[in-house]
Amino acid sequence: MSDLLYGEIENDLRASVRQVLDDKAPWTSVLAGAEKDEPYDAPLWRAVAGGLGCAGLPVPEELGGAGATWRETAVVMEELGRAAAPVPFLTSAVIATAALQAAGERELLARLAAGEAVAVLAVPFSAAPGDVPATVRVADGALTGEVTSVADGMAAEVLLVPAGDGLYAVDAADARRTAATSLDMTRRLADLAFSGAPARRVAEGTGAVTAALRTGAAMLASEQLGLAERCLDDTVAYVKTRYQFGRPVGSYQGLKHRLADLWTSITQARAVARHAASCVAADDADAPVAVAVAQAHCSAVAVKAAEECVQMHGGIGFTWEHPAHLYLKRAKADSIALGTPDRHRAALAELVDLPPA
């Protein structure tokens, strides 16, 4: 059984990341950025990826990384989820990095670890572990085809494209990129088209893509955990100070029960998210099961927490002048990212050899 408790290093890392996010990514700045055309917050990305060195946490020291594990990365994901931070950390520092690690690619991995480049795995954001879209063809070292709904596709400088018999690295400038409609404007989607784009093969087969999507799903559970915790904290603080009929609304038993139920669900989410991160970090044989459980549970908890945050804030919760809508959009978008809860429950049933009903 993995250790679910946070260590001293993880707590120190959390404090450092939260301080940077509180300073550089208050919700007012996140909302203002969502109304701009920039695909992500570049100064914030430099601070988190390069300044704090978070982009290289799971990368070996000989490649310029920190030599830590995915457990520490999961702590960063919790804080980024808590702030709904508009940075390509999940897509570049997690999914693309995991793909390159599995592929044994060193040069590009070192660039990502240093925060010098943003790379994105060119698959639909809805792709679950085990899904390898076959929409791009390769011939004579050039790629042709299309991929839709790629998260942070407009932010990428390098695209990692599954095609034919392997995974290929493509300069983003050689692809035609079109911004797609995104529910969550803090993590934008793009449609990619390749027409004879020169490419370099970095891995054979589909193993690197599967490993990347599984690691991404595990880390996404931590993001959902952080978002849910933020929603609960903000809601508890609000119902303590909002008065109705001469008393705090938080003193009403109905709201107390709902918040207690939410706290219980989040506590369970923390356990399964931490276990998934630990299994991925240790390359445990139970990692596929742990990831499926984490995603099946954490997606629903994050959505529920965001919905309760909106509703318990009353009228202000429905307005643009409150961050609740940012959390709700991130939670809803995350709930269909890297596989829906139903998709992960189906995968879990197969993994534990549970026959269909």
| pLDDT digit string, tens, across residues 26-36 | 999 999 998 88
pLDDT for residue 356: 64
β-strand pairing of 119-121 with 158-163 = parallel
DSSP state of 200: E
Amino acid at the residue 111: R
C-alpha to C-alpha distance for 196 and 181, rounded to whole angstroms: 26
Band of the pLDDT at 165, cuts 50, 70, 90? confident
C-alpha to C-alpha distance for 133 and 341, rounded to whole angstroms: 20
Mean pLDDT taken over the chain = 92
Listed as own residue / partner, the contacts of 251-259 with beta carbons closer than 8 Å and 24 or more positions apart are 255/312, 258/308, 258/312, 259/232, 259/235, 259/308, 259/312
Give yes or no for a contact between 220 and 203, defined as CB atoms under 8 angstroms apart.
no
**Torsion of the alpha carbons at 302, 83, 232 and 236, rounded to the nearest 10:** -160
Q: Give the bridge partners for 121, in sequence order.
A: 160
- Per-residue tokens: 14: 């959390």
* Whether pTM exceeds 0.85: yes
Distance of CA 324 to the CA centre of its chain: 19
> Can you give the C-alpha Rg of the chain in angstroms?
20
pLDDT for residue 355: 73
pLDDT tens for each residue of 107-118: 999 999 999 999
Band of the pLDDT at 265, cuts 50, 70, 90? very high
Q: Give the bridge partners for 203, in sequence order.
A: 167
Residue with the two structure tokens 């799903």: 217
Band of the pLDDT at 251, cuts 50, 70, 90? low
Give yes or no for a contact between 218 and 207, defined as CB atoms under 8 angstroms apart.
no
pLDDT for residue 357: 59
Band of the pLDDT at 250, cuts 50, 70, 90? low
Q: Which residue has the higher pLDDT, 271 or 356?
A: 271
**Torsion of the alpha carbons at 12, 16, 18 and 22, rounded to the nearest 10:** 150
pLDDT for residue 91: 97
pLDDT for residue 255: 81
pLDDT tens for each residue of 334-353: 999 999 999 999 999 998 88
- Per-residue tokens: 285: 């044989």
Mean pLDDT of the region 212-216 = 97
pLDDT tens for each residue of 297-327: 999 999 999 999 999 888 787 788 889 999 9
Listed as own residue / partner, the contacts of 349-357 with beta carbons closer than 8 Å and 24 or more positions apart are 351/288, 351/289, 351/292, 352/289
β-strand pairing of 176-179 with 166-171 = unpaired
pLDDT for residue 55: 95
